[in-house]
Chains A and B, each alone.
Chain A
């Protein structure tokens, strides 16, 4: 599809234009931390920073959102479903974020039950991806069959070129419409990408892909699912859980963790039902009224999370629910590393293979 070249100033102007017509979410810096969050001026957008801590998912699956609005004052309760409104743009989505959207799509959109909230947000979100400017040691995207320049799933893809300009690729019709609209507005600094810019972009992509090669050697998904199939009751989980402090960092920073709670908020005759992020690492998560808890200790809860990422989702949807973004690796207060769990499972799988064959 079409390739454009846009200067930093041109991109700045484009964001300013967007702000008038859509909610723009982009990486920005807060107290030294990069997060994906709503921006209200183009100046807040920080595309050169590290992988934002707060993942992209909040754009289509906000931390909390209203499902129903209720008026209980009358004889008959008036209850209505609340539909999200407006248009959204998410700028600077990394390839791991794109992969995560694809996983979330399967959960919320596949099968008989289509989630109306997610559907509405997804349909009204323009995704502008960003080729990763660098690859951290905690990144392991290559293990999952894609790399830091893979824009699949985005409407548009930006690649920062050595000179400071961006190469802008349109990947979908919606992306093309957006670029056409911007051209009509006459954005200074937005031009067709010449052959030079095109090859510079390809070179930059090749460069970051080479950087990612380093992780490919260290982490592999081979045998992970099979290995975990056979180690559900392994003492390993208790050892891992001994260290786990049962906080929600790994789940809340995970771009694919999608579990939620549904709660009621009543004020006088009016009430709302909303959903909010929840995590299987909290003890309340499976605690039933009456006090029974099928996952009473950290061991069961941590195991459930790791299996969901590396085994359960595969059995249900045929792919991993981990996309290798490395947020949990980097931010776990006690350095629990999902890559080590993968290695352990792979080793188990190899051992099983040996025992079966020999």
Chain B
């Protein structure tokens, strides 16, 4: 995987202005590879390059950011970038087949053209997280945005403390990013991965049970640590309770939100939580920020 110094320090060149002239005009992109993530084939990861643009130079993003991805003639969806900014050869989007655009995407093969508008939104506070221990809690496809930060941390391993990853899915078939959760990440220095499934199958030798229960069992200490979580609403709800019980303060818990989006730039109005727009003020919020907002989330 190609890595450059510039990309490793995205803060060096990033501009907050975003795409100015054609606010709604996507950059042309091409699918290079499609990777099946789950047994049920409902999640695929798309390796995408931007035509005529260099990632890390023309397209600079930070872990946790999103982009609007167009399937021309069908529509546009907001997707989180599941790749790490340290990778400069391509972007990755891990997509669950849920609606019209994503189901069309699932039918696309390498070589197919897409449009990408972004990067959009804020990011995980990777600068202020430096020196801290990190606890990642993910469920199902919710690991996608976390994966960007996990790989970023692993690629800048010396700047961060201990990394613990708790990840769960409904079944072994539904686990995403298998090569990373079972091989790459456990092998990284000072990194532990705990995988659980709601219900195993005949071949499953690992842990069974829900993520919040596993969290309680592992009881990671909050000292010097920040928890970064993402998953289905019901999991988030109980993980938040679990973290509170373990003594995590609201400032120590970071999550990334999902809302229906259309413009991605704070105009169309639908992704508000209180007076904040998830597309421009989020998707990343810490729990203290969320509690201060009026609105419907989780």
Query: Do these two chains interact?
Result: yes
By a beta-carbon cutoff of 8 Å, the part of chain A in contact with chain B is 67-68, 70, 72, 76-77, 79-81, 107-108, 111-116, 229, 232, 258-264, 266, 271, 273, 275, 278, 280, 285-290, 292, 294-295, 300, 304, 307-308, 311-316
Set of chain B residues within 8 Å of A260, measured between Cβ atoms: 262-263, 267-269
Task: Please name 5 pairs of A and B residues whose Cβ atoms are closer than 8 Å in the assembled complex, sorted by A.
Answer: A108-B267, A259-B269, A260-B269, A262-B75, A294-B297
Contact call A113/B280, Cβ cutoff below 8 A: yes
Residue among A70, A115, A264, A288 making CB contact with B267, cutoff 8 Å = A115
- Beyond A107-B267, A259-B268, A312-B274, is A114–B102 a contact (Cβ under 8 Å)? no
B98 touches which of A72, A261, A289, A313 (Cβ 8 Å): A289
Complex contacts, B297 vs chain A, CB 8 Å: 294
Contacting pair A278 B270 (CB below 8 A): yes
**Which stretch from B15-23, B146-154, B157-165, B199-207 is at the chain A interface?**
B15-23
Enumerate chain B residues within 8 angstroms of A111, measured Cβ to Cβ. 266
Q: With the chains together, A312 CA to B20 CA distance in Å? A: 26
Contact A112 B294 (CB under 8 A): no
Contact indicator B270/A77 (Cβ below 8 Å) = no
Interface mask (B93-131 → A, CB under 8 Å = 1, otherwise 0): 000101111100000000001010000000000000000
Is B99 in contact with A266, judged by CB distance below 8 angstroms? no
Residues in B whose Cβ lies below 8 Å from that of A311: 275, 294
Q: Is B258 interfacial (CB-CB < 8 Å)?
A: yes
Chain A residues with Cβ below 8 Å from B5 are none
Chain B residues with CB under 8 Å of chain A are 16-18, 20-26, 28, 72-77, 96, 98-102, 113, 115, 233, 258-260, 262-263, 265-270, 272, 274-276, 280, 294, 296-297
Q: What CA separation (Å) do A280 and B269 show in the bound complex?
A: 8
What residues of chain B lie closer than 8 Å to A115, measured between beta carbons?
23, 265, 267
Which residues of B have CB within 8 Å of A68?
A: 24-25
- Give chain A residues whose Cβ lies under 8 Å from the Cβ of B96: 290
- Closest CB-CB distance, B181 to chain A, in whole Å? 23
What chain A residues lie within 8 Å of B263 (beta carbons)? 260, 262, 275
Task: State A290–B95 Cα separation when bound (angstroms).
Answer: 13
- Indicate if the CB atoms of B73 and A72 lie closer than 8 Å: yes
**Do B22 and A81 touch across chains, with their CB atoms under 8 A apart?**
yes
Residues A294 and B267 in contact in the complex (CB < 8 Å), given A79-B72, A308-B272: no
B65 to chain A, nearest CB (A): 14
Chain A residues closer than 8 Å to B73, beta-carbon distance: 70, 72, 264, 266, 271
Which residues does chain A contribute within 8 Å of B296, judged by CB atoms?
294-295, 300
How far is it, in angstroms, between the C-alpha of A81 and the C-alpha of B266 when the chains are bound?
19
Nearest-neighbour CB distance to chain A for B29, whole angstroms, equals: 10
Whether B268 contacts A262 by the Cβ 8 Å rule is yes
| Cα of A114 to Cα of B102 in the assembled complex, Å | 28
List of B residues within 8 angstroms of A312 by Cβ = 272, 274-275, 294
- The contact of B99 among A70, A278, A290, by CB within 8 Å, is A290
Are the CB atoms of B74 and A261 closer together than 8 Å?
no
Q: Are A262 and B76 in contact (CB under 8 A)?
A: yes
Asked whether B75 lies within 8 Å of A113 as measured between CB atoms, the reply is no
A79-B25, A262-B76, A294-B297 in contact; A113/B270 too (CB < 8 A)? no
Whole-angstrom CA separation of A68 from B267 in the bound complex: 17
Q: Which residues of A contact B258 (CB under 8 A)?
A: 288
Q: How far is the CA of A114 from the CA of B265 in the complex (A)?
A: 9
Across the interface, do A294 and B259 meet the contact criterion of CB distance under 8 Å? yes
A319 to B275, CA, bound (A): 12
Q: Say yes or no: B24 contacts A77, CB within 8 Å.
A: no
Q: Which residue of A lies closest to B71 (CB)?
A: A264
Shortest beta-carbon distance from B108 to chain A in Å:
13
Residue of B nearest to A260 (CB): B268
- Bound CA span A301–B272, Å: 12
Considering only CB atoms, which chain A residue lies closest to B16 in the complex? A112
**Could you tell me the distance between the alpha carbons of A49 and B42 in the complex, rounded to whole angstroms?**
58
Q: In whole angstroms, how far apart are the Cα atoms of A184 and B259 in the complex?
A: 55
Contacts of B16 in A (CB 8 A): 112
With A259-B270, A288-B99 given, name 5 new contacts (CB 8 A).
A68-B25, A70-B73, A114-B23, A278-B268, A315-B274
CA distance A323 to B291 in the complex (A): 30
CB of B265 within 8 A of CB of A77, answer no
Q: Are A79 and B268 in touch, CB under 8 angstroms?
A: no
State in angstroms the CA–CA spacing of A26 and B50 once bound together.
Answer: 46
Please, how many angstroms separate the alpha-carbon atoms of A350 and B211 in the complex?
46
B99 neighbours in A (Cβ, 8 Å) = 288-290
Q: Which residues of A contact B115 (CB under 8 A)?
A: 77, 79
Q: Given A67-B24, A76-B113, A113-B265, decide whether A316 and B275 contact each other with a Cβ distance below 8 A.
A: yes
| Minimal Cβ-Cβ distance residue in B for A296 | B296
Task: Give A170 to B272 CA distance when docked, in angstroms.
Answer: 40
Complex Cα distance, B275 from A111, in Å, reads 16
> Given the complex of chains A and B, what is the CA–CA distance between A275 and B294 in angstroms?
28
8 nearest A-B pairs in the assembled complex, by CB-CB distance: A289-B99, A259-B269, A289-B98, A312-B275, A315-B275, A113-B265, A294-B296, A266-B73
Residues on the B chain within 8 Å of A262, using CB? 24, 75-76, 262-263, 268
CA distance A325 to B19 in the complex (A): 35
CB contacts (< 8 Å) of B24 on chain A: these are 67-68, 81, 116, 262, 273
The answer to whether A289 and B102 have CB atoms under 8 Å apart is: yes
Chain B residues closer than 8 Å to A229, beta-carbon distance: 294
B267, A286: Cβ atoms closer than 8 Å: no
Q: Which residue of A lies closest to B276 (CB)?
A: A316
**Does the CB pair B75–A263 fall under 8 Å?**
yes
Closest chain A residue to B263, Cβ basis = A262
In angstroms, Cα B73 to Cα A68, docked, is: 10
CB pair B270–A292 under 8 Å, yes or no, is: no
Question: Which residue from B98, B102, B267, B275 sits with its C-beta under 8 Å from A113?
Answer: B267
